[in-house]
């Protein structure tokens, strides 16, 4: 008898039940791994799968995480370049693709990342036909549209990480200005995750007190407190971090874990994430943009109808037109 | 005209801000340092995190990237500077700075280069946080913990090497995986050098109190036809293997450091295999640091557990000590 047989007697007659809350992360670059470690440290899944094309890097990352198993509550961490390892995932986080170089805009990455998605998305769908897709790769709004088209999924199961991060950056800066924790500073950035994101100044509040009510100039050119600069710092945020350390990872990783948590725990929490906005706020084209959405274990089930000013709606429509201009040139 | 801040908020207490109660500093923002930082942040162990490094842009970028996630964290203050004044009043300082192993290189090879770096770092840490506990992570960790102790002038219970906390975690993962159980349900200790001569205490390995060596008296020997010894060999090779595959290791060591930080911060009196001054124990006469099971609390290493080791295991510890002393005695300027 082996040591194991002497020690342990197996008493269950049936096949073991598979994982109930499996998360897959596609892409083991800096963003993928930051997402993975954040999901693991928040105890969100009972199985984590990693996929990538770079086999040694993939194996090394999986081993490094497995070596930390003692400190985690995720018993099964697997990795393979073959997508069969991703089977039966509840949520699949897609971080694969090219990233912005210093000074490069997200829109520039499009066609390269569309080609990568043409390989990835059908493979994900094959092995997890009921999963929720969370797209992170940039330009996220366009790639969420692409993932939706390539997957054939209903729109409530294809979510772009969108402006969840932009809003977090905004609330961080707002918190610094007001000496408050970001979670007590409410502000929503919607629209494109990128240069033309829209700060909804009318909604910015602390404890229900509208800041624009206290300072009607807020967000405008004449504002002596220059709140508009706060939004600019959000837009420039990623470029600045990329210039300093070469890429961004921690903030987006934590933002992804925040979204995965709402989905896995069926929280019905409202997040600004990228969804199909055709027919809303004057948007006519089939584009994905970030608006406040309700996330639960079925996915993105509801959207919040924000009351926007005419120029805020105009900005959304402009974003939509820019994105559609790029999307209609794509070969899918 | 009153600003939004003035209209919105009426201060009730104005005085100097309270100093942090649970501040952690991480020295070195390479892959290991940042993995320690993110693990400590996501485990909510600190109310202030300071980062220090010499590479100013990288340092600022890492700080900003963490700050941008502050909505998702419970650590309201994240600061960074190359000037050590930013580290003042830390309870715990994690030292990850220094050069790391290249593919195929042993940890001991890094010594003199890292000693020179530590000569700059350690006095500054102590200057700004004279009451702190230092966790040394940089390799070769046992030698560098000794060096840190010497350079800092701190009492030995406040200088800890991350030691074999990670080796033991790897060992428990690999053993538990073979048995189909969670690593926390497999008890096994690896002591001694964090490196090629680490000592697996087979006599202590157990699950639910059932001693594995009693079930298999050959366990860990060359006669064992189940070849459990190979599992320890895999632990020794682990870091080299991960480095070969992805260029460095970071997640496991980061999680391991957060685990130690938790015991220290929360005054838990939990036992961890960490590198401590072992002169006088197990027949070791030199001033060396090796990993033994230590009780950690908010004072640092409160006590050492006297494990019952076999003669062979004691001999292995002594051999580790000799290897380390051989290197330490040649160090310059310590």
Three-class secondary structure assignment of chain A: CCHHHHHCCCCCCCCCCCCCCEEEEECCCHHHHHHHHHHHHCCCCCEEEEECCCHHHHHHHHHHHHCCHHHCCCCEEEECCCHHHHCCCCEEEECCCCCCCCCCCHHHHHHHHHHHHHHHHHHHHHHCCCCEEEECCCCHHHHHHHHHHHHCCCHHHEEECCCHHHHHHHHHHHHHHHCCCHHHCECCEEECCCCCEEECHHHCEECCEEHHHHCCCCCCCCCCCCCHHHHHHHHHHHHHHHHHHCCCCHHHHHHHHHHHHHHHCCCCEEEEEEEECCCCCCCCCCCEEEEEEEEECCEEEEECCCCCCHHHHHHHHHHHHHHHHHHCCCCC
Subunit contact A245:B226, Cβ cutoff 8 A: no
From its phi and psi, is residue A122 left (phi > 0), alpha (psi between -120 and 50) or beta? alpha
Which one of B161, B194, B209 terminates a domain? B161
Domain match, B200 and B237 both: yes
Is A71–B68 a contact, with Cβ atoms under 8 angstroms apart?
no
Please give the pLDDT value at position B197. Answer: 87
Q: Is residue B70 part of a domain?
A: yes
Is A26:A52 a contact under the CB 8 Å cutoff? Answer: yes
Q: How close is the nearest chain B Cα to the Cα of A282, in Å?
A: 31
For each of chain A's 332 residues, which pLDDT tens digit applies? 899 999 999 999 999 888 999 999 999 999 999 999 999 999 999 999 999 999 999 999 999 999 999 999 999 999 999 999 999 999 999 999 988 777 777 667 888 899 999 999 999 999 999 999 999 999 999 999 999 999 999 999 999 999 999 999 999 999 999 999 999 999 999 999 988 899 999 999 999 999 999 999 999 998 999 999 999 999 999 999 999 999 999 999 999 999 999 999 999 999 999 999 999 999 999 999 999 999 999 999 999 999 999 999 999 999 999 899 989 988 88
Domain over A18-160 is classified CATH 3.40.50.720: yes
Residue keyed to tokens 């090879």? B109
Two structure tokens written together for B194: 């964090």
Query: Which has the closest alpha carbon to A274: A157, A144, A90?
Result: A144
Q: How many residues does chain A have?
A: 332
Nearest Cβ partner for B72 among A206, A240, A258: A258
Determine, for residues B238 and A75 on separate chains, whether the beta-carbon distance falls below 8 Å.
no
Following DSSP, what letter does each residue of B141-187 receive, concatenated? HHHHHHHHHHHH---GGGEEE-TTHHHHHHHHHHHHHHHTS-GGGEE
User: Which parts of B are annotated binding residues for NAD(+)?
Assistant: 28-33, 53, 114, 137-139
Q: Tens digit of pLDDT for each residue in B37-78?
A: 999 999 999 999 999 999 999 999 999 999 999 999 999 999
For B257, counting Cβ atoms within 10 Å of its Cβ (0-12 exposed, 13-18 middle, 19+ buried), the class is buried
The CA distance from A196 to A182, in Å, is 23
- Whether B58 is in a domain gets the answer yes
Longest dimension (CA), chain B: 85
Q: Is residue B6 assigned to a domain?
A: no
Same-domain check for residues B185 and B320: yes
Same structural domain, B135 and B184: no
Q: How confident is the model at residue B136 (pLDDT cuts 50, 70, 90)?
A: very high
Q: What is the structure's pLDDT at B252?
A: 98
Instruction: Say how many C-beta atoms besides its own lie within 10 A of residue A234's C-beta.
Output: 25
Residues B147 and B182 in one domain: no
CB contact under 8 A, B249 and A64: yes
Q: How confident is the model at residue B107 (pLDDT cuts 50, 70, 90)?
A: low
Strand ranges, E, within chain B:
23-27, 48-52, 77-80, 92-95, 133-136, 159-161, 186-187, 190-192, 198-200, 206-207, 210-211, 270-277, 289-297, 300-304
Q: How far is CA B81 from CA A279, B76, B266, B331, in A?
A: 49, 17, 27, 30
Residue B59: DSSP 8-state = H
Helices (H), B187-294: 212-215, 229-246, 251-265
Residues from chain B contacting residue A240 (CB–CB below 8 Å): 61, 64
Mean model confidence pLDDT for chain B: 94
Q: Is residue B17 part of a domain?
A: no
Q: Does the beta carbon of A12 lie under 8 angstroms from any beta carbon of chain B?
A: no
**Are residues A169 and B180, on separate chains, in Cβ contact within 8 Å?**
no
Out of A7, A65, A254, the one facing B69 most closely (by C-beta) is: A254
Dist CA A160 CA A290 (whole Å) = 8
Residue A143 near residue A169 (C-beta atoms within 8 A): no
Domains A18-160 and A163-328 share a fold: no
Domain covering A163-328 in this structure, CATH number: 3.90.110.10
Chain A residues with beta carbon closer than 8 angstroms to that of B73: 254
The answer to whether the beta carbons of residues B72 and B43 sit under 8 Å apart is no
For chains A and B, count residue pairs whose Cβ atoms are closer than 8 Å. Answer: 188
Whether residue B315 sits in one domain with residue B204: yes
Contact with chain B for residue A270, Cβ under 8 A: no
Same domain? For B192 and B92 the reply is: no
- Backbone φ, ψ for residue A9 (5° rounding): -105, 125
Residues of chain B contacting A72 with CB distance shorter than 8 Å: 255
Task: Read off the CATH number of the domain in which B135 is found.
Answer: 3.40.50.720
ipTM beyond cut 0.85: yes
**First-to-final CA distance of chain B:** 60
Q: Would you name the residues of A annotated as active-site residues?
A: 193
The residue among B161, B186, B201 that closes a domain is B161
Q: What's the rounded Cα separation, in Å, for the pair B34 and A250?
A: 9
Nearest beta carbon to residue A64 from set B8, B180, B252: B252
Q: Is residue B10 part of a domain?
A: no
For residues A277 and A146, give the distance between their C-alpha atoms in angstroms, rounded to a whole number: 15
Average pLDDT over residues B164-168: 96
Domain shared by B128 and B259, yes or no: no
Of A303 and B11, the structure prediction assigns the larger pLDDT to A303
Question: pLDDT band for position B102 (50/70/90)?
Answer: confident
So what's the pLDDT on residue B148? 97
pLDDT, average across residues B275-290: 94
Q: Which tokens hold the place of B65?
A: 């990237």
Distance from the Cα of residue B313 to its chain's centroid = 23
B-contacting residues of A 282-311, CB under 8 Å?
A: none
Q: Which of residues 58-87 of A touch B (CB under 8 A)?
A: 59-61, 63-72, 75
How many other CB atoms are found less than 10 A from the CB of residue A313?
17
The shortest CB-CB distance from B38 to any of A206, A215, A250 is to: A250
Annotation-wise, does A137 bind a ligand? yes
Same domain, B120 and B204: no
Q: What is the pTM of this model?
A: 0.95
The C-alpha atoms of residue A70 and residue A92 are separated, in whole angstroms, by 25
* Interhelix angle B251-265/A55-66, nearest 10 degrees: 20
C-alpha–C-alpha distance, residues B237 and B231, integer Å:
10
- Residue B188 and residue B233 in one domain: yes
Average pLDDT over residues B269-291: 95
Confidence of residue B108 (pLDDT cuts 50, 70, 90): low
Closest CA to B306 of B222, B189, B218: B189
Task: Examine residue B322 and state whether it is found in any structural domain, yes or no.
Answer: yes
Q: What pLDDT sits at residue B334?
A: 72
In a domain, B18, yes or no: no
**Single residue among B130, B161, B192 that ends a domain in this structure:** B161
What are the extents of the domains in chain A?
18-160, 163-328
Do B137 and B188 belong together in one domain?
no
Is residue B14 included in any domain, yes or no? no
Q: Does residue B177 sit in the same domain as residue B152?
A: no
Burial B28-41 (b: 16+ CB within 10 A, else e): bbbbbbbbbbbbbb
Statement to judge: residues B193 and B295 lie in one domain: yes
Inter-chain residue contact B34 with A72, CB threshold 8 Å: no
> Cα(B272)–Cα(A7) distance, rounded to whole angstroms?
25
CATH number for the domain harbouring residue B182: 3.90.110.10
Q: How many domains does chain B have?
A: 2
Instruction: Tell me if residue B272 is catalytic.
Output: no
**Contact in structure between A90 and A132 (CB atoms under 8 Å):** yes
* Paired sense of beta strands B186-187 and B190-192, if any: unpaired
Range of the domain at B58: 23-161
- SS3 for B95? strand
Helix, strand, or coil (residue B290): strand
């Amino acid at each position: 008898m082996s040591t194991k047989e002497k020690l342990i007697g197996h008493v269950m007659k049936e096949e073991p039940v598979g994982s109930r809350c499996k998360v897959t992360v596609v892409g083991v670059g800096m963003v993928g791994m930051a997402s993975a470690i954040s999901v693991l440290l928040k105890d969100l899944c009972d199985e984590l799968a990693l996929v990538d094309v770079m086999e040694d890097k993939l194996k090394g990352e999986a081993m490094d995480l497995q070596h930390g198993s003692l400190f985690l509550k995720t018993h099964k961490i697997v990795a393979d370049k073959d997508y069969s390892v991703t089977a039966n995932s509840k949520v699949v986080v897609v971080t694969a693709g090219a990233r912005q170089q210093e000074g490069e805009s997200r829109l520039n990455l499009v066609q390269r990342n569309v080609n990568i998605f043409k390989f990835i998305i059908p493979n994900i769908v094959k092995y997890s036909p009921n999963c929720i897709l969370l797209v992170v790769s940039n330009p996220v709004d366009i790639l969420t549209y692409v993932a939706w088209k390539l997957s054939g999924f209903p729109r409530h199961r294809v979510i772009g990480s969108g402006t969840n991060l932009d809003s977090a950056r905004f609330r961080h800066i707002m918190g610094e200005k007001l000496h408050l924790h970001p979670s007590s500073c409410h502000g929503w950035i919607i629209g494109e995750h990128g240069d033309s994101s829209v700060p909804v100044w009318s909604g910015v509040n602390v404890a229900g007190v509208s800041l624009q009510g206290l300072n009607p100039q807020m967000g405008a050119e004449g504002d002596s407190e220059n709140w508009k600069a706060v939004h600019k710092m959000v837009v420039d945020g990623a470029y600045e971090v990329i210039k300093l350390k070469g890429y961004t990872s921690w903030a987006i990783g934590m933002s992804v874990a925040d979204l995965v948590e709402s989905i896995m725990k069926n929280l019905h929490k409202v997040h600004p994430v990228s969804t199909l906005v055709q027919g809303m706020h004057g948007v006519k084209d089939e584009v994905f943009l970030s608006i406040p959405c309700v996330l639960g274990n079925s996915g993105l089930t509801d959207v919040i109808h924000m009351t926007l000013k005419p120029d805020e709606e105009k900005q959304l429509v402009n974003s939509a037109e820019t994105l559609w201009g790029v999307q209609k040139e794509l070969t899918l | 005209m009153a600003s939004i801040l003035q209209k919105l908020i009426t201060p009730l207490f104005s005085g100097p801000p309270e100093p942090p109660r649970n501040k952690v500093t991480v020295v070195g923002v390479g892959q290991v340092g940042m993995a320690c930082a993110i693990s400590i942040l996501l485990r909510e162990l600190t109310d202030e995190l300071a980062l220090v490094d010499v590479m100013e842009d990288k340092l600022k970028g890492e700080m900003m990237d963490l700050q941008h996630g502050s909505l998702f964290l419970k650590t309201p203050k994240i600061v960074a500077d190359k000037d050590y004044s930013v580290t003042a009043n830390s309870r715990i300082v994690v030292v990850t700075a220094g050069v790391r192993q290249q593919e195929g290189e042993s940890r001991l090879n890094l010594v003199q280069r890292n000693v020179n770096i530590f000569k700059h770092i350690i006095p500054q840490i102590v200057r700004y946080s004279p009451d702190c506990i230092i966790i040394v992570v940089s390799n070769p960790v046992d030698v560098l913990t000794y060096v840190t102790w010497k350079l800092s002038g701190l009492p030995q219970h406040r200088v800890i090497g991350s030691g074999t906390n990670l080796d033991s975690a790897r060992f428990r993962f690999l053993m538990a995986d073979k048995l189909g159980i969670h690593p926390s349900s497999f008890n096994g200790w690896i002591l001694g050098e964090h490196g090629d001569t680490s000592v697996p205490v087979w006599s202590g390995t157990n699950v639910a109190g059932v001693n594995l060596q009693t079930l298999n008296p050959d366990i860990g020997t060359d006669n064992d036809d189940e070849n459990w010894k190979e599992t320890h060999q895999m632990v020794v090779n682990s870091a080299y293997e991960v480095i070969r595959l992805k260029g460095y290791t970071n997640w496991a060591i980061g999680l391991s450091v957060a685990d130690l930080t938790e015991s220290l911060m929360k005054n838990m009196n939990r036992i961890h295999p960490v590198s401590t001054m072992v002169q006088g124990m197990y027949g070791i006469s030199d001033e060396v640091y090796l990993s033994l099971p230590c009780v950690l609390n908010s004072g640092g290493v409160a006590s050492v557990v006297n494990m019952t080791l076999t003669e062979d295991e004691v001999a292995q510890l002594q051999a580790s000590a000799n290897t380390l002393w051989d290197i330490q005695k040649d160090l310059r300027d310590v």
